[in-house]
Amino acid sequence: MSNAAIDDRRSIQKSYHPHVGVHLRDMFAARVLDGQTAVVTGGGTGIGLAIARALGRQGARIVIASRSQEHLDAGMEALRESGCESIAVSVDVRQPGDVDAMVARALEAFGRIDILVNNAAGNFICRAEDLTPNGWNAVIGIVLNGSFYCSRAVGRHMISRGGAGSIVSILANYAWTGSAGTIHSASAKAGVMAMTQTLAVEWARHRIRVNAVAPGPIESPGAARQLWPTDDAVNRITKTVPLARWGTAEEVANAVLFLVSPHAAYVTGEVLTVDGGQWLGRGTFGFLDLGTTPTSEPGS
């Protein structure tokens, strides 16, 4: 995306929200992650790359991990352009041995891991009755099993060095509501949410904070081809968002940055939803357009 296009998008966002970016610039004026190392799975593209870039700009040394060498190459180029110190590691998070090797490579390069972002995911729309066992296992393997394997491996390192660290997992806002066509993904994400809350309690004594971010509709060319391939689908989804727009990968990254930063030092076991209010629904009177519909109080 060109700089002009990015500026245009930011101008549009500020027309909705005059303070977009202002508070984050103030809150993170200093490089609050200097000296820390962050591992981001699925970090070569999309939301994962935005997260890696945001953490790197705050001083963290970045390890991006992915099964795709193409994604790793593109991610490394983007991080170099952003001035981030980073390495890339090929990993299949479904394989515990691969995950252990990823952690070993990160420690070899940077000596420690302070932050883990479980972002690796797989998803596709499918009716439950049509979903094959292989399709189910593929998504459960990446999202639920992979998030546990990564959290376990990094958590053991954090505990062994005396504790302290932060883990954030990327969920979806249908993890607690359900959504048609997402039986595999919703089940996996709900499992990760339960894992997040459980680890938050269990590892608090080690000063390891464990949280999650649940995005709603997010601009993402890769996901768009699979999940919302038509303009009609995009328009219908947009109508379900009270803020009347899609979010950006950078907005998800900002949420992750807050949760891993010292500003969230008393936050653990939480799910921060970034969906423009979508999951809340429109309620009984959602059909009303309060921007044009006259209202009056009883007795007026």
In a domain, 161, yes or no: yes
Residues 6+ apart with CB under 8 A from 4: none
Contact predicate 120/64, CB 8 Å: no
Integer CA distances (angstroms), 255 to 20, 80, 232, in order: 13, 23, 29
Q: Give burial (CB, 10 Å; 0-12/13-18/19+) of 15.
A: exposed
In a domain, 234, yes or no: yes
Count of domains for the chain: 1
CATH code at 276? 3.40.50.720
Angle between helices 146-160 and 96-110 (to 10 degrees): 40
Maximum C-alpha span of the chain: 73
pLDDT at 222: 65
Active-site entry in 16, 149, 174, 266: 174
User: 141: which DSSP letter?
Assistant: I
Handedness of CA 186, 190, 192, 196 (dihedral sign): positive
Pairing state between β 37-41 and 61-66 = parallel
In a domain, 291, yes or no: no
In a domain, 15, yes or no: no
In a domain, 21, yes or no: no
For residue 88, list its beta bridge partners: 64
Integer CA distances (angstroms), 176 to 127, 204, 214, 243, in order: 18, 24, 10, 21
pLDDT of the chain, 300 residues: tens digit per residue: 444 544 554 454 444 344 444 355 557 777 999 999 999 999 999 999 999 999 999 999 999 999 999 999 999 999 999 999 999 999 999 999 999 999 999 999 999 999 999 999 988 889 999 999 999 999 999 999 999 999 999 999 999 999 999 999 999 999 999 889 999 999 999 999 999 999 999 999 999 999 999 999 998 766 655 677 788 888 988 999 999 999 999 999 999 999 999 999 999 999 999 999 999 976 655 666 666 544 445 554
In a domain, 296, yes or no: no
Q: Which two tokens stand for residue 270?
A: 């939480």
In a domain, 108, yes or no: yes
Distance CA 183, CA 178 (A): 8
Q: Is 149 a catalytic residue?
A: no
Q: Which two tokens stand for residue 273?
A: 């939803």
Within 38-182, where are the H helices?
A: 46-57, 69-81, 96-110, 133-139, 146-160
pLDDT at 294: 47
Model pTM score:
0.86
Supply the range of the domain harboring residue 227: 31-280
In a domain, 26, yes or no: no
